[in-house]
Every structure is written in structure tokens, then in C-alpha cells.
Chains A and B, each alone.
Chain A
Amino acid sequence: MLHILRHSPHADSRFASCLRAINADQSLLLIEDAVYTLLPGTSGRNALEYLPASVSLYTLESDLLGRGVALDDISSRIEVIDYQMMVALCTEHAKVVSW
């Protein structure tokens, strides 16, 4: 299952709700304002680090760059992808849940 988060963790409770509902072996893609979660030294980023290692994490490069989140600051756990790869992710997962 692929979970897609789009809201800033500071603005909305969806971030927390999604993290509570995510299971091992699932994937999480951060798009739009959810990329702010990746900024170092934030509680959101720490929460991501605590996810089981079997949860795959992805983010959209254009959304990062558009918001000034530096690629160098991203945890090595996160795979940076483009829209084509996002489509591929959707085909690889039987279900897509947008939070």
C-alpha cells in the first residue's frame, strides 16, 4: 500500500493520523507541503525516522526544490523521485491512500 501525504505536519493532524495507520512493509510518499516534514531538527522528521525500516519513504523532487528544501538535507532513507516514478509506484502498489 502506498500512502500519500500532502499537508505540512505543522498545519494538520493528517500527518499524525497517517503515521498511526501505516503498517510495516508499506510505502509513504511525501508531496506538496508534506515535504516540510523532511527539514532537519523537526519532530516530523524524527517521527519518520522512527518508522519501521520496512516502510519505504519517497518524496517528489520538484516539490522539494520548489520549497527550498535542500536535497543534501534529506535523510538517506528517503528516495527522491519524479512524477514518472510516482506513477510507477502507484502501479506497483495495489492501493493508494491519499491523506
Chain B
Amino acid sequence: MAGLLCFHWVGFMKFAIALLAGPQDPAARSALEFARAVLSSGHQISHLFFYREAVHLASLLGVQPQDEQDITAEWRQFITEHRLDAVVCIAAALRRGVLDKAEAQRWERPAANTAAPWELSGLGQWVDALQSADRAVTFGT
């Protein structure tokens, strides 16, 4: 038993996961299933980074038909439940109309559509994540 635990500890890794495709792309689901499997395998997710169309996952305004799965809600729930760092590229988000309260005010837009657990920040966060993670995996290329 001690041996098993020890083996497990040695194998523990920090994953940085990036998603580049939006909620309408199958990659949004693949990345989530992978992220769930990372945690259930006993590894850690050090960073999640959302770039390109993936910034739309951070929008709180999407409405899905009732008989379809709501991938944005699932992501939000997953991030909240596991208290993960979920960084949305701020430049990509602004271009696509995904704004938190501070950005909506700064750019004088009528509404904000994202909030915690999502965090708008720069590409530097991803660069950092790539440096510190043991494994970096990108979805939605």
C-alpha cells in the first residue's frame, strides 16, 4: 500500500490546458472531459487558458435549448467546483465582445457578460503556464 501511494506521488503532474475553439466546437467538450480525467487520475491542473473562439465559453449569456447540453455551464461549474485558475485572453475576449464589469466600464459598453470564475488577463499568463506546467495540452487547434 505504501508502495502504491509512493508510486502515485512520483507520478503526479501539473497540467496546463489551453482551449482555442468555441462552445460550438467538439473541442470544448474534449477539453472538459480531458480536464476531468486529469483530476480523477490524481494530477493537478495548474492553469486553464482560453484563447481565440474559446473566450465565448466565458460568456454568461448563452442560452441552450433545454434538450441540449450546456457546455459553458458545465465548464463554469467544473472551474468553480475545483477552484481552478481559468484565464481568458483579454485581447481575444474584447474583440469578441466578452467583457467583465471593469472592461465594460472602461470601454463604455452597455453590459458585461462575464465574471468569476473567469478571469480576463494577458497572453503572458499562458506563456507563464507553459513554463511552469509539467505537461501542456492544447485543444481546439
List CB contacts (< 8 Å) of A1-46 with chain B: 4, 6, 14, 31-33
A88-B138 in contact given A32-B30, A83-B33 (Cβ < 8 Å) = no
Whether a CB of chain B sits under 8 angstroms from the CB of A90 is yes
Q: Verify B138–A91 contact, CB threshold 8 A.
A: no
List CB contacts (< 8 Å) of A69-99 with chain B: 82-84, 86-88, 90-91, 96, 98-99
Among residues of A, the one whose C-beta sits closest to the C-beta of B136 is A96
Interface of B is mostly: mixed
Interfacial chain B residues near A62, Cβ < 8 Å: 33
Bound-state Cα–Cα, A84 to B140, Å:
19
Q: Verify A90–B15 contact, CB threshold 8 A.
A: yes
Interface of A is mostly: helix
Bound-state Cα–Cα, A32 to B20, Å:
14
List CB contacts (< 8 Å) of B100-141 with chain A: 134-141
Bound-state Cα–Cα, A83 to B40, Å:
10
11 additional contacts, CB 8 Å, given A90-B135, A91-B11? A6-B141, A32-B26, A32-B30, A83-B33, A83-B36, A86-B34, A87-B34, A88-B41, A91-B134, A96-B135, A98-B137
A residues engaging B (CB < 8 A)?
Answer: 4, 6, 14, 31-33, 60, 62-63, 82-84, 86-88, 90-91, 96, 98-99
Can you list 14 residue pairs at the A/B interface with Cβ under 8 Å?
A6-B27, A14-B141, A31-B30, A32-B27, A62-B33, A82-B37, A86-B34, A87-B34, A87-B41, A88-B41, A91-B43, A91-B134, A96-B137, A99-B141
